[in-house]
Each structure stands twice: as structure tokens, then as C-alpha cells.
Amino acid sequence: MTDNRPDPDALLDELKREEAQACRGRLKIFFGACAGVGKTFAMLAAARVKQQEGATVLVGVVETHGRKETEAQLSGLEVLPPRRIEYKGRSLAEFDLDAALARQPQIILMDEFAHSNVPGSRHPKRWQDVEELLAAGIDVYTTLNVQHLESLNDVVGQITGIIVRETLPDHVFDRADEVSLVDLPPDELLSRLAAGKVYLPHQAERAVKNFFRKGNLLALRELALRRTADRVDAQMRAYRADQSINPVWHARERLLVCVGPGPGTEKLIRSAKRLAASLDADWIAVYVETPQLQRLPEARRNRILKGLKLAQELGAETSVLGGSTLAATLLAYARTRNVSKLVVGKSNRSRVARWLRPSLVSELSRQSRDVDVYVVAHDHDEAEGPRGKEVDSLLFSDGEAGKPQRGYFAAAAICFATTAVNHLLVPHFALSNVIMVHLLAVVLIATRYGRGPGVLASFLSVAAFDFFFVPPQLSFAVSDTQYLLTFVVMLAVALIISQLTARFRFEATIATYRERRTRALYDLGRELAGALTASQIIETAVGRLEPLFGAKVMLFIPNSEDQLRAATACGSEADTGVAQWVFDNLQPAGLGTNTLPSNAALYVPLKAPMRARGVIALLPDETIQAFLPEQQRLLETCAAQIALALERVHYVEVAQDAIVAMESERLRNSVLSVVSHDLRTPLTTMLGLANMLTSPNLPAAQQQDVARSIQDEAIRMNKLVTNLLDMARLQSGVKLNKEWQMLDEVAGSAVRSCGRSLARHQLTVSLPPDLPVLEYDAVLIERVLANLLENAAKYTPPGSHITLSASCDGQRVAVSVSDDGPGLPAHMEHRAFDKFSRGAPESTTPGVGLGLAICRAIIENHGGDIEAGNLAPHGARFTFTLPCGTPPALPPEEA
């Protein structure tokens, strides 16, 4: 008996969906084959009807393209002013999302659903703006052409020769509450185009020669109609599932053919293909594995696999199902997929066999009130072939294949043991209680060993009870005829219990198998999501797929020239040439395929949304596993997850390379700026001063002043070039010449080298006499101090106080250069040490912004830190630290 009660979890999920939908706006898409069919006109007409009914309508974005009929529909509708966005020196109009949310209309019109927003907008795509409007409870009307759907983008490009860059994810289209198809015959559309109702005359002439050819319009129209029909079909199936409607609705023909292990399988599949072609219907080929079909000879198992492969080659969707009864499982699956016609082969069993157990055709005819059943005859003289060795289930392996007799021996042994136990119980319990012990044994046997051993245990239990416990004992004779009824009831109960137990065992095994597959996919997806490099992805894929498929897994990854290389250890079984063919052609090859089927391994491309990311090869331990439809689909799903992970890591690397390239470009521009401005300025000054020296009328006193000016500009230019060279030398790596020495000597040298820069400032040097001896490169640390002192003098007005001080906390020595000038600009404390960073963009102070960057590089090479900060009420402080370390012991004095 079928339980038609609704699933409580499904009801709860439906209530949650309805509650979320109640707070969300409704999305209506006016869908068409191409521009000019009247989508925008239909959207405006529908909006005007809603406005007349009292709804608040706001026009967010409508593109009329100069069409007078469309512009006339705008009259009387409130239009939202666009937002202006500056982009590359131009002011562009874009949809004002914040203003629309603030207005909160009941309906808003958003033309061109797949439109890309101007950079600088909140969302890169218009459909993302629409999502935010829907979340705010606003109904949205929008328009869309079929070529903008992501899944059809390549198909449209192949038909028209034009690749559309603006696309919409299919899941957004599928989630729309309503899709209204706006259709127009191609001849009428071409007439509108010629009349200038779609484009301007010169644009229309080009369009007719390119995109708007009649063949293109016919193909696009068919795509739009089919996509709308697919959506309606999906909505119908969802409605039937939500309303728990079991009867099939014959809205669209769909065939289901049942593949079995018997003869005539190929004829059955070809007949189903011809029937599906004549009806222009989709068709599905399934094999249902029941407990009776759980173990089959290898020849019959191969016949099933061959039939499923043939159906797949002929265009069918294939699947392997598991169920207790063949007819009920077929019909349940058929109703789930809204199948209208079921095709099965004619039974060739004897009349007695059909009387004992009804045929599949009889069961389907009796139970299929809403599905048409087609019976295909086949040749009865087709040879069955030798029985051969039995092999495992197509759905799972229970470890018992090839040894079914073990269960029967175990059943006999358990029945014998149960009889021995009952001998001990008979003196203390009535015979009715002894029967319960036998029934318990039947349940245990059926649970552990299945249907056949359970049936054997039922008969053995009845026989043992009669022979050993019913008077006269040790005889099958019955003294009391009432025991005959006891035997019949006991046998019936035992058989029913064994059948039900075996059925539950089979269904539990199938559920466990499916749970294991789902868990494996979840674990694979979770680990791939956490992988950060391609090597981690490959390691995860191999570790997860090898136990899942019982096969050796090998991965091939392309290099920059799209030549595959083995990313895992590959033996002689791996063929890089086959993998390269699979990668180039995006088709599987090897074991179980039509390309190189004699190869020992199965090669599957790793297809990501943008391109192929490699090839995965499986060398199965059991050849039969590679042919199973369920395994093939599982492998395709795993391959898709691996490809997505590899593509994600690839684009992360691309983004990192782009950041590096942008930084390199910024540095290059900064260097060019230095060369063109900061080097050119002193050179120009020196040239001018040199020309003055050539003048014969220049007094001797002025000649001295000009010479000193030339010297100052030369020193300035020398420092600038030195900074550039030092920065390059530090980045390429420099070997420090460290020695143990006092800090005050280097500080004094730095102060003397900055004498000209510090001449108009007040310098205070405060170095404690008890500073420890430090190990450092004297030349580089002097350079750090000189840069900090010159930097303080450069960015403070004349007369300012500059202080050079130091302190020690026992582990590190901190050296500071502070001033009482204006201080650092806001948020410059960390950026001050970046290359080519200046105090302020508008600063007129000469320099290239490398001094502090050089200081940081030198200090970090010494194992120290450097930081900057502002002082109160004004001023700046730069502090660097050096580790104290342990100086070497002084050598003993000579006697």
C-alpha cells in the first residue's frame, strides 16, 4: 500500500519558502528572441494597466532607442532621474538605486535586464540592482533577449557569429515569478526594421546584413520558444510535486524505456528511439535493480551495460534505480519525471511461471492508470549464453557476490542451532512460545543474508518444529489435525517476515549507498573550497576519488602552451597522448567510450565555465565499474568540482599577477616622473648657470656664487641618483658588513654629512653614555641617520628644533629623530615608508620619495623595525630599533 501522506519536512520547507516569498517583490520578465519584437512596448503597456488599477509605478530605466510608439507609452508615467557617474573623464547616466529604494514604489520598470553598470556603481550588473529591489519588497518589470542567457551564449554566438558580452545567469531567469514571451514572426520584424521602427535607417541596413538575417531570426525565435517551454515544464513539475499530484499530466510527451538483462534489449532500445523520434519526445532509459536481480551472471550484466550505453549514444538520458518491486519503482520514477509513455519488452516466460508470478507487463497494465504502456516483441530464439560467474550489483557491492551459497549454509546452521536451543526450552515453555524463537531466527537470517536464505529458513523452521516438537516427535506425522493450521500459519508468517525483512534490508543498503555518495561529494566540495593552490586541489582530488571509485586516479594539468603534463605519479598505464586529445576535444576517451575503448584507463576532461583546466584519468580495479551510468555521472560531477576549484585558483593567481603588474606600472611611472622632473630640474638649472659662467662680463664675485649654486645642484642630483641606485641594490640583496661598534661615532658622521641641510635648523644630539656596543653596518646605518636628519630638515621651516636621541631597554636600542614642524599628513604613518611616497601629493619639496623606503630596507636587513608618528601639539618622530645582541669577549691582555 502506498503512503500518500505529505512529508512533514517538505511541508515545513514549503512554509518557509512561502514566508520568504511574501516579503519579497515579484519579478516579471518580458522575454523575446531579439531587439525590436516589442518587449519594452509590452512592459510599458502592462505598467500602464497596473497604474490604472491604482498601483504606484516608477520608471527606473527605459531605453526607447528613438521609437515613437515606445516613447508614447511613457507619457503619464513618472520617470526616476538618473544618477551621473564620472568615468574616464566623461559623465555617464546610470540607474539611481538609492533613490528608487527611498521612493518605495509598488512597481518599478528596469529595461535591459542583462545590462552592465558603469564602473563605480554599487553593483556591476543591473540584475544585481534588481535583486536588491526585490529584497526590499518592490515588484520589478524588466526585459531580456534570449542571446543574453548565459547557457545559450555560445549557441547564439555560433548561429549569428556575434559573441554577446552582457549575459545573465540562468538561475536568475529561472527564479522569475513570471516570464511573458513577446513573439514576432521574422518577416514582420524585418518589415519593422525596414520601416525604421527598430533602428535608424543606416543602422538598419547594417543589421539586416549581419545579425538580423532571416535564418538568424528563425533560430533565435526557436531558442526563445524552447527556453520558455522548458521553464513552463519545470514549473508544472514543481507544482505537481508541491501539490502531491501523482497522476501524469500529458502536457509534453516523454518516454521511459525499461532495460533488462533478458534477450532483445538492443531491439527494445532502438524501438523506443524510433518511437521517441516519431513523437518528437524526450526519452529516458533506466535499469531497475531489485533483490531478484541483485546478482546476475556476468554475461547478463554486460548485456544491461551494453543496452544503457547504446541508449546513451542514441540520445537518451540513462539511470540505474533500486527498488523492491520492478513495476512500482518504474511507475514511481515515471510519475516523478512526468513520463507519458512507458516502453517494456514482452515477457517470454512460460505460462506456469506467469501464473506463479505475474509478468511486468501485467503489473504495469494493472497499476498504470495514467501512463501508456507499450510492449515491444523480440526474438525468442536469441541465445542466452552460458550462465557464467555471478558479479556484484550495479548499484553497490555487498561483498557476497560469487558466494550466495554461504547464506544458505548459514541459514541451515542457524535453524539447527535454534532447534537445539528450543530443546532446552520445551520443558519450561509451551509450544506456542517455541514457535516465536523459530520466527526470530527467520528474521535474523533474512536481515543478514537476504531473501533466498530467509525463505529456506522459513521452511526449515516449520519442518524442524513438526519433526522435533509436535507429537509424535521425530516424525513428520501429525496426531492432532489442529497442528496443520499451525504449520500453515507459521509458514505464512515466516515467509512474510522474511520477504519484508529482505526488502527493508535491500532498501536500507541502497539508502546507505546513496548517503555515502552524497557524503563523498560534500567532503570533496568542502576540501576543494578550502584549497589555496593547485597542488592542494590535486592532492585532495586523488585522496577522495581513489577510495570512492575503487580506481587509481591520475591528473594532467596544462602548461602555458596548453600542453598537458602529469600532475600525479603515473605508471605505464597513463597515456599523455590520449589525455592531450581529451583536453583538446573536450570529450572523454578510453575505457567504456567510443574513442580508444581498448585503453585500460578512462580519461575525462575537467571542464570549467571558461575553459578546460586539465584531464582526470581513472584506472579502475574492476572494469565493470567504468560503464555504470551512476558512476559516470558521479565522476562528471566530481570532475566539474575539481575544474571549478582549479579555475578559482587560476584566477586568484591572475589577480595577484595583475596586482604585481599594476604595482610595477606604478613604480615605472614614478621612476619616469623622477627622471623627467626631479633629474631634469637640477640639470636645467646647472645648464643655465653654466651659460652664465661663459659670459665675459660676469663679475668675479658672482662667478663664485654661480659655481656654488652649480655645486649645490650637482650634490642634490647626486643624492637623488644615489637613492635610486641604493634602492635597486637593496632590493636585489646586499651583504651586510657588520661590526661591533658604538653608535655615537656613526651619529657624529651622519650629522657632519648633513651640515649644509641642517645649517638653518637647531639640532640637539642626546645619546646616553651607557649605550651598549651594537653589531651593524656602519656605512648603511650612517645612511639611515643622514636620510632621517635630511628628511626632518627638508619638511620643517627654518629655525625648527631637530632632536637625535637614543635609549636602550636591555634587548633593543631605539634611535629617534624628532622635530617640532607641521608633522605628518593624516594616515601617512605607514605609507611614509613606501617607495616613491611623498609627504603630500601637492608638495613642492624636491625629492623622489625613496629616502624613507631605503631606511626601512636597511633596518629590516639588520633585524630591526622602523616606524613614524606625530607628536603633540605638532611635530613628527621617526624611530628605528636595532637588536643589542651579545658582543664577543675581549682578548686577554698580553703579559
Alpha carbons 656 and 660: distance in angstroms, whole number: 6
pLDDT band per the 50, 70, 90 thresholds, residue 837: low
Q: What is the mean pLDDT of residues 162-175?
A: 82
Q: What is the mean pLDDT of residues 152-156?
A: 75
State whether residue 88 is helix, strand or coil: coil
State whether residue 443 is helix, strand or coil: helix
pLDDT band per the 50, 70, 90 thresholds, residue 400: very low
816: exposed, middle or buried (Cβ count in 10 Å: 0-12, 13-18, 19+): middle
732-754: pLDDT as tens digits? 566 777 888 888 888 988 888 88
Which range scores top for mean pLDDT: 99-108, 407-416, 561-570? 99-108
* 210 CB neighbour count, 10 Å cutoff: 12
Return the pLDDT at 878.
Answer: 93
Cell 566540495 identifies what position? 525
Q: What is the mean pLDDT of residues 54-75?
A: 84
532-558: pLDDT as tens digits? 888 899 899 888 888 888 888 889 999
pLDDT band per the 50, 70, 90 thresholds, residue 150: confident
Return the pLDDT at 109.
Answer: 93
Q: 3-state secondary structure string, 324-369?
A: CCHHHHHHHHHHHCCCCEEEEECCCCCHHHHHHCCCHHHHHHHHCC
Whether the CB-CB separation of 683 and 691 falls below 8 Å is answered with no
Peptide bond into 472 cis (omega under 30): yes
Query: Which amino acid, one-letter code, is at 289?
Result: E
pLDDT at 162 over 90: no
Top pLDDT among 41 and 571 is at 41
Return the pLDDT at 675.
Answer: 58
Top pLDDT among 396 and 509 is at 509
Return the pLDDT at 877.
Answer: 92
Return the pLDDT at 895.
Answer: 38
pLDDT at 894 over 50: no
Query: What angle separates helix 186-194 from helix 201-209, to the nearest 10 degrees?
Result: 140
Beta bridge partners of 553: 618
Q: Going edge to edge, which strands form the sheet with 282-289?
A: 317-322, 282-289, 254-258, 341-345, 372-376
Return the pLDDT at 160.
Answer: 74
pLDDT at 524 over 80: yes
Return the pLDDT at 496.
Answer: 80
Whether the CB-CB separation of 69 and 183 falls below 8 Å is answered with no
Whether the CB-CB separation of 456 and 413 falls below 8 Å is answered with no
Return the pLDDT at 816.
Answer: 93
pLDDT band per the 50, 70, 90 thresholds, residue 803: very high
Q: Which residues contact 796 (CB under 8 A, 6 or more apart)?
A: 761, 802, 819, 820, 821, 822
Query: Which amino acid, one-letter code, is at 886?
Result: T
Residue whose C-alpha is closest to residue 454's, from 418, 496, 400: 496
pLDDT at 676 over 90: no
Return the pLDDT at 251.
Answer: 58
Return the pLDDT at 21.
Answer: 67
Return the pLDDT at 651.
Answer: 86
The runs of H, that is alpha helices, within 674-698 are 680-693
Beta bridge partners of 92: 85
Return the pLDDT at 681.
Answer: 64
- Tell me 197's DSSP state: S
Q: What is the mean pLDDT of residues 96-107?
A: 90
Which range scores top for mean pLDDT: 499-513, 638-652, 658-672, 849-863? 638-652
Q: What is the mean pLDDT of residues 329-343?
A: 87
What's the pTM?
A: 0.48
Query: Which amino acid, one-letter code, is at 326?
Result: L
E strand segments, 349-475: 372-376, 390-391
Residue whose C-alpha is closest to residue 124's, from 116, 112, 115: 116
Alpha carbons 548 and 513: distance in angstroms, whole number: 11
Residue 147 C-alpha from the chain's centroid: 24
Q: Which three cell numbers stand for residue 257?
A: 524505456
Q: Going edge to edge, which strands form the sheet with 876-883?
A: 762-766, 801-808, 812-819, 876-883, 866-870
Query: Which amino acid, one-letter code, is at 51?
Result: Q
pLDDT at 399 over 50: no
Return the pLDDT at 2.
Answer: 45
Could you tell me what percent of the chain has a pLDDT over 90?
Answer: 9
Whether the CB-CB separation of 198 and 184 falls below 8 Å is answered with no
595-646: pLDDT as tens digits? 777 788 889 999 888 888 999 988 887 655 555 666 777 888 888 889 999 9
Beta bridge partners of 288: 321
* 462 CB neighbour count, 10 Å cutoff: 23
Alpha carbons 318 and 256: distance in angstroms, whole number: 10
pLDDT at 516 over 70: yes
Give whole-number Cα distances, 670 to 676, 743, 849, 856, in Å: 10, 35, 10, 19
Could you tell me what percent of the chain has a pLDDT over 70?
Answer: 80
Query: Which amino acid, one-letter code, is at 64?
Result: T
Residue whose C-alpha is closest to residue 814's, from 859, 779, 851: 859
pLDDT band per the 50, 70, 90 thresholds, residue 76: confident
Phi, psi of 591, rounded to the nearest 5 degrees: -55, 125
pLDDT band per the 50, 70, 90 thresholds, residue 4: low
Top pLDDT among 867 and 500 is at 867
Top pLDDT among 525 and 878 is at 878
Alpha carbons 847 and 778: distance in angstroms, whole number: 25
pLDDT at 510 over 90: no
DSSP sequence for 794-835: HTS-TT-EEEEEEEE-SSEEEEEEEE-SS-PPTT-TTGGGST
Alpha carbons 248 and 340: distance in angstroms, whole number: 7
Query: What angle separates helix 405-425 from helix 451-468, to the nearest 10 degrees?
Result: 30
Mean predicted lDDT score pLDDT of the chain: 79
411-455: pLDDT as tens digits? 888 888 888 888 888 888 887 778 888 888 888 887 777 777 878
Residue whose C-alpha is closest to residue 631's, from 373, 318, 893: 318
